[in-house]
Amino acid sequence: MNRRLSPFILTMLCLGFAFLYVPIILMVVYSFNASRLVTVWDSVHSPTLKWYVELMSNGEVLEAARLSFKVAALNATGSTILGTLAAFCLVRFGKFRGRSLFVGLTTAPMVLPEVITGLSMLLVFVAMEQVIGWPAGRGATTITIAHMTFCLAYVTVVVQARLSTFDRSLEEAALDLGARPAKVFFVITLPIIAPSVVSGWLLAFILSWDDLVITSFVSGPGSTTLPQLIFSKVRLGVSPDINALATLLVLTVTIAVIGVGLALQRRERRLVLEAEEAREVPA
């Protein structure tokens, strides 16, 4: 459409995006500020990389980042497997006994306040430890299990959306040509829905990497994730090394998201182009 946007809409767009981005940009700028008083710009010694250097030598931060990464990767893999299975059941199995409960269980974790999810998870871990002796204490294992449970729901939604537009006759064609159901899933279904599975994995990774509330309930002494560490520092006020850390995290995610976005766009364009070429050649 070529119609011009009205001045009101244009103003609101600018205001909205300024609102979304000014705080982040300022945080990035202040991460290069030499002064320890974060809000005062030390124009003599700035910009400086000293907070980044300090960050890289901070063992506590590195340890927390390592744990967060481990939990996020394990969780993403686990919840992607479970979520893909769940989505497959919801789309392919039609009506089965207990379906409505299953639908509820796969959507509720997204709606439930995190404080409730966290509390209930902790209580079940405590109960399980009393009854079967596992998991002994709380740490990376319990954090991963808790994250998997709520991330599973998000993966299910993403994969389910793709599967419900999936041409079912592709699977039937593979069955018809002699492939067994399990093989059909791995050779036909999975490769075709792969982009949504990968998005599900990334989403689960990010959700887990970011999570503070649920983690705080189910983590034990000695297992501090990056968000927990940041939170404990944030409660004491602004500190320049958090600005530096935040900048690193924001930049990484931004580059990753833009990269994925561009790759998808290019792929889309190539497919359209190739399809147009095919149409020009007479059959």
- Residue list 87-146, contact with another protein (CB under 8 A): 88-89, 93, 96, 98, 102, 105-106, 108-109, 111-116, 119-121, 123-124, 126-127, 130, 145-146
Contact call for residue 244 and another protein (CB under 8 A): no
Question: Which of 27/73 has CB closer to another protein?
Answer: 27
How far apart CA 136 and CA 118 sit, in angstroms, is 18
Stretch that binds another protein, among 9-17, 47-55, 58-66, 69-77 (CB under 8 A): 9-17
Judged by beta carbon, residue 54 or residue 144, the one nearer another protein is 144
Instruction: Using the minimum distance from each CB to another protein, give the nearer residue, 56 or 258.
Output: 258
| Number of residues forming the site for another protein (CB under 8 A) | 110
x/- track of binding to another protein for residues 41-80 (CB under 8 A): ----------------------------------------
How would you label 79-99 residue by residue, b for 16+ Cβ within 10 Å and e otherwise? bbebbbebbbbbbeeeeeeee
Looking at 42-50, 56-64, 157-165, 230-238, which segment touches another protein (CB under 8 A)? 230-238
- Closest approach of another protein to the CB of residue 154, in Å: 12
Going residue by residue from 154 to 193, which x/- string records binding to another protein, judged by CB under 8 A? Answer: -------------x-xx-xxxxxxxxxxxx----x--xx-
Of 34, 140, 206, 220, the one binding another protein (CB under 8 A) is 206
Nearest-approach distance from CB 102 to another protein, in angstroms:
6
3-state SS, one letter per residue, for the chain: CCCCCCHHHHHHHHHHHHHHHHHHHHHHHHCCCCCCCCCCCCCCCCCCCHHHHHHHCCHHHHHHHHHHHHHHHHHHHHHHHHHHHHHHHHHHCCCCCCHHHHHHHHHHHHHCCHHHHHHHHHHHHHHHHHHHCCCCCCCHHHHHHHHHHHHHHHHHHHHHHHHCCCCHHHHHHHHHCCCCHHHHHHHHHHHHHHHHHHHHHHHHHHHHHHCCHHHHHHCCCCCCCHHHHHHHHHCCCCCHHHHHHHHHHHHHHHHHHHHHHHHHHHHHHHHHHHHHHHHHCCC
Among 49, 53, 198, 253, the residue binding another protein under the rule CB under 8 A is 253
17 forms part of the interface with another protein (CB under 8 A)? yes
CB of 137 to another protein, least distance (A): 11
CB 264 within 8 A of CB 202: no
Residue 257 engages another protein in binding (rule: CB under 8 A): yes
Nearer to another protein, 164 or 265 (CB): 265
